[in-house]
């Protein structure tokens, strides 16, 4: 704790107990800490005393509700299994990933029992991507973005951009609308917001973008290399990470070819909770993923033959994970030969 903040930061105007409870007048540590609340911003009403509008919208934001985790897997459950999941798994396991205000603005979140602690001596920070975003999204996205996963860093990172240059406040704080997945977030980033169609510098780029519009995602061509995929997730034991690169049809829009990430939900993931996933085959094991290792020039932008002749990196029936969902076969795509 930086004691200078007590006089300079307005968050301390009403004393520590205004957020953390306890007894500021007590003479001993034990009595002072009686009833102490370690993570006060878990109760949005604490921050809402001053930041009422933000707290009101954040109550429905995906970072707080973790509804994406719940709805992403619940399609595999029967009605009775969904009740078991909500009672025995979601609240005890998935909900532990939700972020309170303080997890982003005061101290880094605790992941698997580990936290880097206060961001800057209990100073309330507007942003510190490397200590907050990286803690929760550091297993996959952030190390791809910075190049720490083993490939080259994302071109946006190389130019000095951070997470919040693309992911705005309204996306993170929510807008008050209840959402079940990130695809429902209208404010989410889109390449076209900065890279307008028709602004290309070469005729080759203009022609290629026009031909592939609404048929191929930007990531499919501009992903700079392999990214993290996870295998064999089991309740209480985690999953195994492995590098890979997959191209196939978008499960939510099978008119578009895009990059896919392997989802680690296997048939016996929730076996210990008594959930057999009776509808396991209704959802695929591969989901569309916005990779964070973008490059302007890749093998696929240099030569059309990489996709249309070699058909490199496209999912095939033989290459699908063993004992996976039958829905995986719906994502297979074979590019048409070049004329």
Domain holding 101, by residue range, is 58-189
Answer whether 174's CB lies under 8 Å from 99's CB. Answer: no
Q: Within this chain, do residues 211 and 155 fall inside the same structural domain, yes or no?
A: no
Q: Within this chain, do residues 79 and 184 fall inside the same structural domain, yes or no?
A: yes
pLDDT for the residue 96: 78
Q: What is the pLDDT of residues 208-243, one digit of tens each?
A: 999 999 999 999 999 999 999 988 888 878 888 899
Q: What's the CA dihedral at 86, 89, 90, 91 to 10 degrees? A: 90
CA 112 to chain centre: 17
Q: Which two tokens stand for residue 327?
A: 């829905």
Mean per-residue pLDDT of the chain: 92
Residue 299 banded pLDDT, cuts 50, 70, 90: very high
pLDDT for the residue 130: 87
pLDDT for the residue 151: 79
Q: What is the pLDDT of residues 78-122, one digit of tens each?
A: 999 999 999 889 988 878 788 999 999 999 887 767 788 899 989
Q: What is the pLDDT of residues 259-296, one digit of tens each?
A: 999 998 999 999 999 999 999 999 999 999 999 999 99
Q: What is the pLDDT of residues 144-200, one digit of tens each?
A: 999 988 778 999 999 999 999 999 999 999 999 998 999 899 889 999 999 998 899
**Would 39 be classed as within a structural domain?**
no
Residue 306 banded pLDDT, cuts 50, 70, 90: very high
Q: Within this chain, do residues 182 and 278 fall inside the same structural domain, yes or no?
A: no
Task: Give 41's contacts (C-beta < 8 A, 6+ positions apart).
Answer: 19, 47, 100, 101, 102, 103, 106
Phi, psi of 256 (to 5 degrees): -120, 135
Q: Within this chain, do residues 201 and 164 fall inside the same structural domain, yes or no?
A: no
Q: 215: which DSSP letter?
A: T
Calpha distance 165→62 (Å, rounded): 19
229 by DSSP, 3-state: which? strand
Of the ranges 53-67, 90-104, 254-268, 317-331, which one carries the lowest mean pLDDT score?
Answer: 90-104
Task: Give 239's contacts (C-beta < 8 A, 6+ positions apart).
Answer: 230, 231, 232, 233, 264
Q: Within this chain, do residues 153 and 206 fall inside the same structural domain, yes or no?
A: no
Number of domains present in the structure of the chain? 2
Q: Within this chain, do residues 132 and 62 fall inside the same structural domain, yes or no?
A: yes
8 pLDDT above the threshold of 80: yes
pLDDT for the residue 234: 84
Calpha distance 241→201 (Å, rounded): 39
Q: Within this chain, do residues 96 and 222 fall inside the same structural domain, yes or no?
A: no
302 pLDDT above the threshold of 90: yes
Residue 13 banded pLDDT, cuts 50, 70, 90: confident
């Amino acid at each position: 704790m930086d004691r200078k903040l007590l006089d300079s930061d307005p968050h301390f105007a009403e004393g520590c107990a205004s957020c953390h409870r306890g007894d500021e007048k007590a003479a001993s540590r034990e009595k002072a800490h009686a009833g102490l609340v370690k993570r006060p911003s878990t109760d949005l009403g604490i921050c809402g005393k001053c930041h009422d509008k933000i707290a009101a919208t954040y109550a429905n934001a995906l970072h707080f509700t973790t509804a994406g985790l719940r709805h992403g897997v619940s399609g595999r459950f029967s009605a009775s299994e969904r009740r078991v999941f909500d009672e025995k798994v979601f609240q005890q396991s998935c909900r532990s990933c939700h972020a309170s205000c303080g997890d982003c603005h005061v101290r880094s979140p605790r992941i698997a029992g580990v936290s880097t602690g206060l961001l800057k001596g209990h100073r309330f920070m507007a942003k510190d991507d490397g200590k907050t975003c990286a803690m929760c999204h550091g297993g996959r996205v952030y190390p791809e973005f910075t190049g720490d996963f083993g490939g080259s860093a994302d071109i946006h990172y190389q130019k000095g951009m951070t997470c919040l240059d693309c992911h705005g406040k309204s996306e993170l704080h929510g807008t008050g609308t209840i959402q079940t997945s990130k695809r429902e977030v209208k404010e989410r980033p889109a390449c076209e917001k900065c890279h307008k169609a028709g602004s290309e510098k070469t005729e080759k780029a203009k022609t290629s973008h026009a031909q592939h519009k609404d048929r191929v995602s930007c990531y499919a061509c501009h992903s700079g290399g392999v990214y993290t995929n996870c295998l064999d997730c089991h309740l209480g034991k985690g999953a195994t990470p492995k590098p890979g690169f997959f191209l196939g049809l978008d499960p939510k829009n099978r008119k578009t070819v895009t990059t896919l990430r392997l989802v680690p939900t296997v048939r016996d993931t929730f076996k210990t909770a008594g959930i057999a996933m009776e509808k396991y085959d209704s959802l695929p094991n591969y989901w569309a993923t916005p990779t964070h290792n973008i490059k302007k020039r890749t093998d696929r932008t240099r030569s059309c033959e990489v996709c249309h002749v070699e058909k490199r990196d496209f999912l095939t029936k033989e290459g699908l994970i063993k004992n996976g969902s039958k829905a995986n076969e719906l994502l297979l795509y074979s590019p048409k030969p070049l004329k």
